[in-house]
Structure 1
């Protein structure tokens, strides 16, 4: 694995329980500082790929390296520890904890990593939710919940940011603000980032757009339409 690589996929394959193969012998290297968008048809395996990278699922074949370590070689406890320290994940379903306030939700990665809490407040301001710190998730719209999830994913300055449709519930103007925040955080922290999206506008904020298909991940040229 290259010293500058944050993530390396080596021959990854994955087949669903129904027998449908979605990923076949997929290899790709994401270097420190890179921010890429993955697009592709529904059902091609984009969300599955993110779950594999995050260690939430296991590939049938191949290896996933994160900062020089084989993720699949770690036991559950070690993989959880690595994910907690170095990953920021934005899920489509948000997974905001309903019994915690917004500030507590965003501060959770800081608590788990024994880091100072002040950045949680800063990130709520950054996503436009200042003054809502003591609100609970039930008081929020879908777009506001998405912003909480993004603030939580970025708050501990992770090495690798993974986001699954991070702007799906946001209006165009807010989406652009949030995407620029994600990009600036990734660049400022010397991290790497992957977003999965159906939005051309969202993908355009990345350094490179990749198309996922049965043949693997291929760069999309600027004149191509996805």
Structure 2
């Protein structure tokens, strides 16, 4: 089995409007590793996710996925995101004119994969029987579950989630976080969730605190 990390951050820095958000950030994320990142508001958690996703570029440093430098804002970046990344963002980005099944099927269609996994993932997030519903018929929590199913359906190498349980009740949150864990372990992928919820963070293999000093592991004795 390859020892190459799924994700490597090497001296990554980013400044916005003369304010340095990230400075010399370095860290490696192994295959099968499920990591939660916490930190104060404004410390750069969402910025970090956008950089890893290739939606923005660092001012300096490198980001590698499976040992390859992450390209930004070109066809190569688009193809990498489509094939290897799964996104769960707070805004959902569910397409309103498509049914739930069509929304979840999109990554499979774009990657020319069989479509039979889409209804399986809707069932996995508790939306069986709702395949032909449209987004306007769903609550915020249900839309979040559709976003999670869509992010996982094509078995991505890296899952990025920004407050993935923010619109979910405690029981549903626990179920979808366990689903994320099961999927990445089964596929030897990696997952990074950014969250303010300690309960959500404690489902991860590791909790990292993001601050101006970088990413710092929370001592194991503080994880329960």
| TM-score, structure 2 normalization | 0.96
Cα distance in 2, alignment partners of residues 4 and 61 from structure 1: 22
1:5 partnered with 2:5? yes
- SS of 2:58's partner is coil
Q: Secondary structure at the match of 1:5?
A: coil
Distance 1:137 1:221 in 2: 41
**2:100 aligned with 1:87, yes or no?**
no
Structure 2, unmatched stretches of 5+, are none
- 4+ long deviations beyond 3 Å: 222-225
Aligned length: 222
Alignment of 1:50 with 2:49, yes or no, is: yes
In 1, Cα distance between equivalents of 2:137 and 2:77: 33
1-structure distance, mates of 2:153, 2:27: 27
Correspondence list, 1:154-165, <5 A: 154-165=152-163
TM-score, structure 1 normalization: 0.96
Q: Partners of 1:221 and 1:130 in 2: how far apart? A: 40
Partner of 2:199: 201
Gaps of 5+ in 1: none
Offset at 1:21? 1.1
Partners of 1:174 and 1:20 in 2: how far apart?
A: 38
TM-superposition CA deviations, 1:163-216 (whole Å, max 9, x none)? 000000000000000100000001011101100000011000100000000000
Q: Distance in 1 between matches of 2:189 and 2:39?
A: 24
Q: Note the alpha carbon deviations across 1:14-55, whole angstroms, 9 max, x for none.
A: 111x32211000000001111100000000000110110010
Kept in 1, the 8 Å contact 2:32–2:188? The answer is yes
Match of residue 132 from structure 2: 134
State the distance in 2 between where 1:41 and 1:21 align: 15
What is the Cα-based RMSD across aligned positions, in Å? 1.2
Secondary structure in structure 1 of the residue aligned to 2:28: strand
Q: What secondary structure, in the 3-state scheme, does the structure 2 residue paired with 1:152 have?
A: helix
Partner of 2:23: 24
